[in-house]
């Protein structure tokens, strides 16, 4: 049995679902802040991705929980329980938060898409025949992906030494959520939006997905938590893979799926599956990996 | 196995990254020591002592969303940007509903009872007071007394709910709530 070729005009269902989920989450958070009190009856949705409550279910940022515990040298049980949600989904699906939930990742991907469109228009205007997708593959331009683990380590060390949750001050996810909330309910934005803007401009002009791929300590935490993941996109038909690297060009995390390089970082977004000319990459159940080799792989020891 | 740890160049590069990140992360709290905030802010009910409050507040905005009169707002700028403060400038009041303390996930707003609520103290501008005593009538905790025909705030009783200011007939109001005398409990983990 051989996988069939995909048509060009096929519906990209995974990407559609993913975008709908991410847009819906942002819209619900914003709407619950603006009109929820008056007539939409969205009082059951409260908070942002730092701490989110939907009716009786609550989820909180695991890095925030770790920093809070370290900086106050105490264990916050209720936060531990609420941060379990993101911990458990990353134990099963790997770095799925980055690909399916994080609004900063969504904004980055939207900018990235926009940039690819602009570049394509310019290139077609000049009359050259570039590839259909002219996004520059991240792998050629990213710097050392192990930098984010060093960032995570320094976040933890500094929050212990200064007894202060330092990363929460510059977390682009928190800043984006806070500013959406204040913009929707009080019509002002805070000064700290400059940090978010800097990160987005950095991504747009210097490094595609440079923050998510190489710098974000939250992403690093999710990669480390997601080591024993049991569901992941993997190349299924190695013998017919033509190594066209379309999957690599579109991968937001800069993984080369056809060569199985950097699959620790995979956010299970499914773009490789959608971009593949054959039906090659499919989510497969993996053998549970051990955490032991992780540091060795990351730092290439 | 530990080749790259022994490899001096790789090791120095990573140590350099570590030092750079640590320095830039710790510079933010250290900058605050150099440029402290000038004015104190009215914090929401049950806010723990200021230093601890800045450390444990997740800036998640749940108290902002929970407040029915919308007096809790995130701070716009500065080191504590995103932390909630109480803004009485629109003439709204604190109804002592304690929804903000219920919403707080990290106990930055401790779950104190209504009887312990105290977010500030009202101060009367005697140059503009016309001695109508409406504030005296409306105060829910009877924190006013009369002294030589003038209303005087009893600081121990006043909880800073801003009701007196909102009913004051003078425009702009002759009573403003200040953060002094607020009850700031010790933090305990949630």
Q: Which of residues 50-89 of A touch B (CB under 8 A)?
A: 50-51, 53, 58, 60-61, 64, 68, 71-72, 74-79, 82
Half-sphere exposure (Cβ direction) of A174: Cα atoms closer than 13 Å:
27
Contact A179, B73 (CB under 8 A): no
Q: What local confidence, expressed as pLDDT, does residue A10 receive?
A: 63
pLDDT at A134: 41
Specify the pLDDT at position A35. Answer: 60
What is residue A299's predicted lDDT score, i.e. its pLDDT?
73
Of B61, B62, B190, the CB nearest to A78: B190
Rounded Cα–Cα distance for residues B99 and B63 (Å): 7
In this prediction, residue A289 carries a pLDDT of 62
- Of A91-105, A119-133, A137-151, A156-170, give the lowest mean pLDDT range: A119-133
pLDDT given for residue A2 in this prediction: 58
Cβ pairs A/B, distance under 8 A: 147
Q: What is the pLDDT of residues B52-95, one digit of tens each?
A: 898 898 888 888 888 888 899 998 877 788 899 999 988 889 99
- Cβ–Cβ under 8 Å, residues A167 and B34: no
Pick the CATH number of B50-178 from 3.40.50.620, 1.10.150.20, 3.30.70.20, 3.40.190.10: 3.30.70.20
Q: Which residues of chain B have pLDDT under 50?
A: 1
> What confidence score (pLDDT) does residue A36 get?
54
Q: Mind listing the pLDDT tens digit for each residue in A224-235?
A: 998 888 888 878
Q: Contacts of residue A299 in chain B, CB cutoff 8 Å?
A: 4, 14
B69 at A interface, C-beta within 8 A = no
Contact B77 A64 (CB under 8 A): no
Query: What are the CA-CA distances from residue B9 to residues A149, A170, A214, B14 (Å)?
Result: 18, 30, 20, 9
Q: Is the pLDDT assigned to residue A116 strictly greater than 90? A: no
Chain B residues within 8 A of A157 when measuring between CB atoms: 22
Question: Is the CB of residue B164 less than 8 Å from the CB of residue B135?
Answer: yes
Q: Is B74 helix (H, G, I), strand (E, B) or coil?
A: strand
Which DSSP letter does residue A169 get? Answer: H
Of A47, A155, A190, the CB nearest to B81: A190
A170 CB within 8 Å of a chain B CB: yes
Q: Do B17 and A150 touch (CB under 8 A)?
A: yes
The answer to whether the CB atoms of A50 and B28 lie below 8 A apart is no
Q: How far is B73 from chain A (nearest CA, A)?
A: 8
Q: Categorize the per-residue pLDDT at A152 as very low, low, confident or very high, splitting at 50, 70 and 90.
A: very high
pLDDT at res. A133: 44
Q: Please judge whether B106 and A77 are an interchain contact, meaning their C-beta atoms are less than 8 angstroms apart.
A: no
Tell me which DSSP letter residue A192 carries: T
Measured between CB atoms, does B16 come within 8 Å of chain A?
A: no
C-alpha radius of gyration, chain B, whole number: 22
Question: What is the end-to-end Cα distance of chain A in Å, rounded?
Answer: 40
Of B3, B76, B190, the CB nearest to A76: B190
Q: How far is B126 from chain A (nearest CA, A)?
A: 32
- Determine the pLDDT at residue A37: 57
Chain A: give the shortest CA distance to residue B133, in Å: 33
Domain residue extents for chain B:
3-34, 50-178
Residue A57's SS3 state is strand
A194 touches B at CB < 8 Å:
no
Confidence at residue A184, expressed as pLDDT on a 0 to 100 scale: 84
- Picking from B148, B87, B105, the residue whose alpha carbon sits closest to that of residue A47 is B105
Q: Does B2 touch chain A (CB under 8 A)?
A: yes
pLDDT, residue B1, reads: 44
Q: What is the mean pLDDT of chain A?
A: 80
With a pLDDT cut of 90, the percent of chain A lying above it is 20
What's the complex ipTM? 0.86
Residues in chain A within 8 Å Cβ distance of B18: 150, 153-154
Q: Which residues of chain B make contact with A32, given a CB cutoff of 8 A?
A: 65
- Per-residue model confidence as pLDDT tens digits over A45-97: 888 888 988 888 889 999 999 999 998 888 988 899 999 999 999 988 888 99
Enumerate the domain spans of chain A. Answer: 13-122+132-229
Average pLDDT value for residue range A18-31: 88
Which residues, numbered 138 to 157 in chain A, qualify as contacts with chain B under a Cβ-Cβ cut-off of 8 Å?
Answer: 146-147, 150-151, 153-155, 157
Residue A136: pLDDT band (50, 70, 90) is very low
Which chain B residues touch A165 with a CB distance below 8 Å? 55-56, 58
On the question of pLDDT at A128 being above 80, the answer is no
Q: What is the pTM of this model?
A: 0.87
For range A102-127, the mean pLDDT: 78
What pLDDT score does A288 carry? 61
User: Between the CA of residue A295 and those of A155, A224, A290, what are the distances in Å?
Assistant: 18, 9, 11
Mind giving me the DSSP string for B15-34? HHHHHHHHHHHHHHHHHHHH
Tell whether A257 lies on the interface with B, counting CB pairs under 8 A: no
Q: What pLDDT score was predicted for residue A46?
A: 83
Residues of A with CB below 8 A from B62's CB?
Answer: 46-48, 51, 53
């Amino acid at each position: 049995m051989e996988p069939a070729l995909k048509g060009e005009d096929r519906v990209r269902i995974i990407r559609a679902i993913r975008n709908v989920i991410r847009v819906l989450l942002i819209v619900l958070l914003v709407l619950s802040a603006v009109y929820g009190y008056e007539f939409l009856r969205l009082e059951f949705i409260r908070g942002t991705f730092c701490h989110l409550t939907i009716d009786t279910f609550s989820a909180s940022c695991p890095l925030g929980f770790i920093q809070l515990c370290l900086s106050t040298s105490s264990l916050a049980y209720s936060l531990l329980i609420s941060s379990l949600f993101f911990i458990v989904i990353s134990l099963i699906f790997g770095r799925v938060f980055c690909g399916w939930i994080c609004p900063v990742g969504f904004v980055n991907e939207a900018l990235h898409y926009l940039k690819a469109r602009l570049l394509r228009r310019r290139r077609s205007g000049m009359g050259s025949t570039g590839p259909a997708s002219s996004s520059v593959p991240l792998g050629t331009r990213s710097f050392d992906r192990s930098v984010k683990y060093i960032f995570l380590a320094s976040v933890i060390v500094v929050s212990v030494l200064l007894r202060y949750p330092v990363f929460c001050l510059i977390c682009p996810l928190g800043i984006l959520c806070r500013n959406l909330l204040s913009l929707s309910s009080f019509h002002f934005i805070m000064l700290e939006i400059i940090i978010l803007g800097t990160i987005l401009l950095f991504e747009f002009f210097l490094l595609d997905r440079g923050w998510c791929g190489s710098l974000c300590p939250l992403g690093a935490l999710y990669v480390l938590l997601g080591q024993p993941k049991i569901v992941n996109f993997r190349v299924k038909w190695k013998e017919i893979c033509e190594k066209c690297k379309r999957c690599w060009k579109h991968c937001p995390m800069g993984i080369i799926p056809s060569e199985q390089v950097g699959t620790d970082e995979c956010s299970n977004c499914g773009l490789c599956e959608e971009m593949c000319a054959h039906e090659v990459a499919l989510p497969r159940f993996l053998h549970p990996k051990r955490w032991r080799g992780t540091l060795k792989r990351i730092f290439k020891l | 196995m530990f080749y790259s740890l022994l490899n001096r160049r790789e090791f120095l590069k990573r140590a350099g990254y570590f030092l750079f990140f640590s320095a830039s992360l710790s510079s933010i709290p250290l900058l605050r020591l150099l440029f402290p905030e000038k004015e104190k802010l009215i914090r929401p009910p049950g806010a723990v002592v200021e230093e601890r409050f800045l450390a444990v507040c997740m800036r998640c905005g749940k108290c902002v969303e929970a407040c029915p009169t919308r007096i809790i707002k995130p701070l716009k700028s500065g080191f504590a940007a995103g932390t909630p403060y109480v803004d009485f400038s629109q003439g709204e009041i604190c109804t002592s509903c304690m929804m903000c303390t219920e919403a707080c996930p990290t106990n930055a707003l401790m779950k104190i009872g209504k009887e312990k609520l105290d977010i500030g103290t009202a101060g009367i501008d005697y140059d503009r007071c016309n001695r109508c005593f409406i504030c005296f009538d409306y105060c829910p905790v009877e924190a006013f007394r009369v002294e030589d025909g003038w209303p005087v705030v009893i600081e121990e009783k006043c909880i800073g709910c801003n009701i007196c200011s909102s009913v004051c007939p003078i425009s702009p109001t002759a009573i403003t709530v200040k953060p002094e005398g607020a009850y700031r409990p010790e933090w305990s983990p949630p």
